[in-house]
Amino acid sequence: MVKTEEKTLESELIYDGKILKLFRDTAELPDGRSAIREVVRKADGVCIAAVDAEGRIAFVSQFRYPYGEDVLELPAGKIDGDEDPDHAALRELKEETGVECGKLISLGCGMSSPGFCDESLWLYIAADLRKGEAVPDEGEFLNLSWISLEKAEEMALTGEIKDLKSRMLILAAAAYLRKEAEQ
Amino acid sequence: MVKTEEKTLESELIYDGKILKLFRDTAELPDGRSAIREVVRKADGVCIAAVDAEGRIAFVSQFRYPYGEDVLELPAGKIDGDEDPDHAALRELKEETGVECGKLISLGCGMSSPGFCDESLWLYIAADLRKGEAVPDEGEFLNLSWISLEKAEEMALTGEIKDLKSRMLILAAAAYLRKEAEQ
């Protein structure tokens, strides 16, 4: 086994912003040399596959500024401070889609960009849905749509859905629900 | 349909680094108000599910500084300048695992963190493998392992693999290869 651990020698805060902090660290590599590590530190997030009684998944489409285009995604958002991830999932789902759910199934936690960012994303299936009115955050402009699980799975596989967390969660949710139906 | 488009009013380069640039933009929202948009702009990347004749996938484990731990991932890396994504996939696979492949199948392109970053990741299956000696980049310390596709799929579903791009690509590759085997 190759030794891999890196040790922080210095850490410089470059930018302390609204949604992220940027650090420029110097790290000692396993061979004793040093290297620059640029790290974005930000709040963790949640992403939810909400499946209704007709087997359709809730999607939100919103303008994603870094790409300059509308992106079709599963409902997702940031965890507030020391908020419990389950609570954040219920809150974000309600805010973005108006949906409340009777059943929240955790599919664990994932890393979105481990090369440069410390964000962890908590993944959920929401079922037993009650639909209501969306209450988006100020400055948040979303369009809601419902797509059958079968079609969504196809779109995740072909890449018609581009957002990787959504693609991942759709495939995992479909596998989970298939397994559950077989039991 | 709710209007979603945001227009750039101002763009300020906060940091121009080794692997990323950070911008602090002011954008006009659909309702005419303005908002700050913090955006990380960086090179696009590739990620490869390399499947050998025994049906095992190549994994690399490396220290991921933002998390301070070793992370098990599929081979991945940055596209160099105007390099073709297919070329980058072949190059990164060779560098990180020593593997060359006779067959490279594109599974399209995905967005890793559309909320704050413009990175696109090109996803591939590599087959018809010839194994050789890895030639990692300077300062890159990796451990290679091979895990059966079946086990890897289970680890992607349960979250034992944490890296979301790897989880996504394993599930997509498994579905693709199952479909191919059925034909």
Q: pLDDT for A142-180, tens place per residue?
A: 999 999 999 999 999 999 999 999 999 999 999 999 988
Residues of chain A with C-beta less than 8 angstroms from the C-beta of B40: 20, 40, 66, 116-117
pLDDT (0 to 100) of residue A133: 85
Cα gap A154→A159, rounded to integer Å: 8
CATH 3.90.79.10 spans which residues of chain B?
45-182
Does pLDDT of B139 surpass 90?
no
Catalytic residue among A138, A140, A180, A182: A138
- Find the mean pLDDT for residues A96-125: 96
Edge to edge, the sheet with strand B7-16 lists B7-16, B21-28, B34-41
**B36 vs A contacts (CB less than 8 Å):** 17-18
pLDDT band of B49, cuts 50, 70, 90: very high
Interface contact A167-B168, CB threshold 8 A: yes
The shortest CB-CB distance from A172 to any of B123, B141, B171 is to: B171
Could you tell me the pTM of the whole model? Answer: 0.95
Average the pLDDT over A25-44 and give the result. Answer: 96
Active site residue A138: yes
Across the range B44-51, mean pLDDT stands at 98
Average pLDDT, chain B: 95
**A1, A164, A176 ranked by CB distance to B110: nearest:** A164
Q: What pLDDT is stored for residue A171 in this prediction? A: 95
Cβ-Cβ contacts under 8 Å, B37 against chain A = 65
pLDDT number for residue B135:
82
User: Which amino acid is it at B47?
Assistant: C
Predicted confidence (pLDDT) at residue B176 exceeds the cutoff of 90: yes
**Taking Cα atoms as reference points, which of A174, A111, A119 lies closest to residue B153?**
A174
Which residue in the set A61, A158, A175 is minimally distant from B157, CB to CB?
A: A175
Mean pLDDT, range B136-163, rounded to an integer: 92
0.90 surpassed by complex ipTM: yes
CB contact under 8 Å between B40 and A40, yes or no, is yes
Is B1–A143 a contact, with Cβ atoms under 8 angstroms apart? yes
pLDDT of residue A77: 96
Q: Which residue has the higher pLDDT, A2 or B19?
A: B19
Q: What does pLDDT average to over chain A?
A: 95
CATH no., domain B45-182 = 3.90.79.10
Q: Are B73 and B152 in contact (CB under 8 A)?
A: no
What is the model's pLDDT at position A127? 97
Q: What is the pLDDT of residues B55-64, one digit of tens each?
A: 999 999 999 9
Q: Is A133 exposed, middle or buried (0-12, 13-18, 19+ CB in 10 A)?
A: exposed
Q: Are the Cβ atoms of A14 and B27 closer than 8 angstroms?
A: no
State whether A165 and B163 contact (CB < 8 Å): no
